[in-house]
Amino acid sequence: MENLRSLILGLVTPEQFCQHYKITMRTFHRWNRNPEKIPGYVHDWLSIKRGDLSDINPNWSGWFINHRTGELVAPSGLAVTYSQIEHMSMAFNERDLLRRDNRLLRKKIGKSKNTPVPGTAKILKFPRI
């Protein structure tokens, strides 16, 4: 296992690291001598700082954070910003509200799920995320 100084190399100074985690330089040196004592959340933070998300969870293998743009980048090359993800969440919430309203209207007029209601658009089915 790498020592702490090599893990933070090029990311932050030891002093910045200690300030971020509110630890003393003595603790830093202890973790540096014995990397097994470094808490998991510190390894996760360092992985994120390096832009590699696979250490956090294997499902994120190949994904990374572009620190220049702040985008989350998928293995396919698709890059999304925080605001795009935030808007996606709002779109799914809106979709769920429209589905609920549609069910209530169908129940009110006595139509089954598969019977089209005159004057309405076909509901598109989106995969759940």
Q: Are residues 24 and 42 in the same domain?
A: yes
Of 60, 80, 100, which residue constitutes the final position of a domain?
80
Half-sphere exposure of 53 (CA within 13 A, CB side): 14
Residue from 66, 43, 67, 39 nearest 55 by CA: 43
Global pTM value = 0.48
Q: Are residues 87 and 121 in the same domain?
A: yes
pLDDT tens per residue across span 6-24: 777 777 888 988 998 899 9
Q: What is the pLDDT of residue 8?
A: 75
Contact (Cβ atoms closer than 8 angstroms) between residue 71 and residue 81: yes
Q: Are residues 14 and 42 in the same domain?
A: yes
Give residue 123's domain range: 82-129
pLDDT tens per residue across span 62-94: 888 887 888 889 999 999 998 898 888 889 999
Q: Are residues 115 and 59 in the same domain?
A: no
The angle that helices 14-21 and 25-33 make with each other, rounded to 10 degrees, is 110
Q: What is the mean pLDDT of residues 87-113?
A: 86
Q: Are residues 76 and 88 in the same domain?
A: no
Q: Are residues 29 and 60 in the same domain?
A: yes
Q: What is the pLDDT of residue 123?
A: 62
Q: What is the pLDDT of residue 50?
A: 76
Confidence of residue 38 (pLDDT cuts 50, 70, 90): confident
Q: Are residues 8 and 54 in the same domain?
A: yes
Q: Are residues 72 and 96 in the same domain?
A: no
Other CB atoms within 10 A of residue 102 CB: 14
